[in-house]
């Protein structure tokens, strides 16, 4: 019961908090961009079965791999890609929280 609350809380509330705290002038655009990074979940369609509640996404799906996470951290370092990088990192944090709660 707690796992979905934590997962979706991180997915939706953490980007909002970061957008309001660090991108105050354009918080709404920053928030929408960070929510848009959910698109990395498209790599779940490559898995069989597509959804397994007992599987950790981290380092299983290609866009959730350690190599991809390194790219996301790299994106967060530059101003032009920072919001995208932060959104991707937040997504990974939410998925890692699921792994810890299994």
Mean pLDDT of all residues in 65-72: 98
pLDDT digits (tens, 9 = 90+) for 29-64: 999 999 999 999 999 999 999 888 889 999 999 999
Which residue segment(s) compose the domain that 55 sits in? Answer: 2-101
pTM for this entry: 0.93
Return phi, psi of residue 99, to 5°: -60, -40
Residue 32: C-alpha distances to residues 13, 37, 62, 88 (Å) = 12, 9, 24, 12
pLDDT digits (tens, 9 = 90+) for 2-18: 888 999 999 999 999 99
> What is the number of other CB atoms lying within 10 angstroms of the CB of residue 25?
7
- Structurally, the chain folds into a number of domains equal to 1
């Amino acid at each position: 019961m707690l796992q979905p609350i934590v997962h979706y809380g991180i997915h939706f509330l953490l980007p909002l908090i970061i957008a309001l705290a660090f991108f105050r002038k354009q918080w709404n655009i920053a928030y929408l961009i960070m929510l848009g990074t959910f698109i990395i979940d498209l790599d779940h369609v490559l898995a069989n079965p597509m959804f397994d509640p007992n599987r950790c996404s981290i380092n299983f799906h290609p866009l959730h791999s350690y190599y991809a996470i390194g790219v996301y951290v790299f994106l967060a370092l530059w101003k032009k890609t920072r919001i995208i990088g932060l959104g991707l990192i937040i997504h990974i944090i939410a998925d890692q929280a699921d792994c810890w709660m299994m």
